[in-house]
């Protein structure tokens, strides 16, 4: 889960972030990118420099630049809280992620000014009117690359008012996280096994096409295989297969090909280790050729799920159908 935070100064974004960090969320702030830039230029780290440098970076590299920089640091296996989102285009960058949500935290100007006064920094405004006047610069952008907290807040998936104490804010944030956790998106079993096959294909040593298959029974992988030259022989990319290394035209000189297919190797690996594939499902990155189709039928595999079509599929599909083997296409883009 990626939870983005937006809101005006002293609304409670930092407290929400600290609470989430204590619950195992990893933390990033878009302001970190700006701070790194300011530090690299040898400038003083002030609020004025943060605003001006952020505006400059958006002008030079696009309004989503700060988000793009943070997105490169995101690990899909972790939960994150991302603070200081101040432009609608920054939100759109994170919308590419399936489990991103934007949370806007609000509080009245009076409450936020009281928090500023309690903080007691010398650079903070000394009265409410000055405080409101200064933050209006962040609320609505005068130029395309300027901060626009109002427009950003409109895009929020959830809004939490934070006019009272810290405990209530933490309780509401915790309740929201529990609610979202119940709806986290994760791959179906079909997509899960197809993605495993796609990763297995990366091990292929064939220089013409990378193909792999996994054989599954009872939601458990029992065998994998990818295309390449036989065990103990020179790899295809090392010159082991004369057909591939001569860059033969597709469909020609097949009698010279030394590479075993991914489906073939998955079935053979199961046999090598004494594992029955009867009644299983085979997931393959390409629809099986006729030779592999015959092996699939005779091995007792009951279902074939393929990601991409292979040339001359019609005969294979017809044979699978005649043998009572279910065959269906599942298009899954490689990660």
Burial status of residue 163 (CB atoms within 10 A of its CB: 0-12, 13-18, 19 or more): middle
- Please identify every residue annotated as catalytic: 263
CA distance 304 to 263: 10
The dihedral formed by the CA atoms of 250, 251, 255 and 260, expressed in degrees to the nearest 10: 70
35: which 2 tokens?
């701070």
DSSP 249: P
Sign of CA dihedral 177, 90, 106, 55: positive
Query: 220-226 and 281-286: which strand pairing?
Result: unpaired
Tokens 């269906």, residue located: 328
DSSP 256: G
Q: How far is CA 195 from the centre of its chain?
A: 13
Angle ∠(267,270,272) on CA atoms, nearest 5: 110
- CB 285, CB 256: distance < 8 Å: no
Cross-strand bridge partners of residue 104: 6, 159
Tokens 């297919």, residue located: 261
| CA-wise closest residue to 292 among 199, 238, 215 | 215
| CA-wise closest residue to 161 among 171, 150, 169 | 169
332: which 2 tokens?
């899954």
| CA-wise closest residue to 4 among 76, 79, 72 | 79
């Amino acid at each position: 889960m990626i939870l983005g935070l937006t809101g005006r100064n002293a609304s409670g974004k930092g407290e929400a972030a600290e609470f989430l960090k204590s619950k195992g969320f990893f933390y990033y702030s878009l302001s970190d990118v700006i701070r790194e830039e300011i530090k690299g230029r040898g400038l003083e780290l002030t609020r004025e420099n943060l605003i001006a440098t952020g505006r400059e970076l958006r002008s030079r590299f696009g309004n989503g630049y700060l988000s793009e920089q943070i997105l490169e640091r995101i690990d899909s296996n972790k939960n994150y809280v991302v603070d200081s989102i101040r432009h609608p285009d920054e939100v759109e960058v994170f919308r590419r992620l399936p489990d991103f949500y934007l949370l806007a935290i609000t509080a009245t100007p009076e409450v936020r000014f009281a928090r500023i006064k309690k903080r007691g920094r010398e650079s903070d405004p000394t009265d409410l009117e000055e405080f409101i006047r200064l933050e209006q610069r962040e609320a609505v952008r005068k130029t395309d690359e300027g901060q626009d907290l109002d427009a950003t807040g409109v895009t929020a998936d959830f809004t939490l008012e934070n006019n009272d104490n810290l405990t209530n804010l933490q309780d509401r944030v915790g309740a929201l996280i529990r609610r979202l956790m119940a709806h986290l998106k994760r791959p179906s079993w079909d997509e899960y096994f197809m993605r495993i096959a796609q990763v297995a294909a990366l091990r292929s040593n064939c220089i013409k096409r990378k193909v792999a298959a996994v054989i599954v029974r009872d939601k458990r992988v029992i065998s994998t295989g990818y295309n390449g030259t036989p065990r103990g022989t020179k790899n295809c990319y090392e010159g082991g297969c004369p057909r591939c290394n001569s860059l033969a035209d597709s469909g020609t000189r097949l009698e010279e090909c030394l590479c075993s297919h991914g489906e073939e190797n998955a079935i053979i690996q199961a046999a090598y280790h004494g594992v029955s594939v009867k009644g299983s499902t085979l997931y393959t990155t390409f629809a099986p050729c006729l030779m592999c189709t015959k092996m699939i039928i005779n091995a007792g595999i009951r279902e074939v799920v393929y990601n991409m079509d292979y040339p001359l599929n019609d005969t294979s599909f017809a044979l699978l159908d005649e043998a009572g083997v279910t065959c269906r296409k599942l298009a899954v883009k490689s990660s």
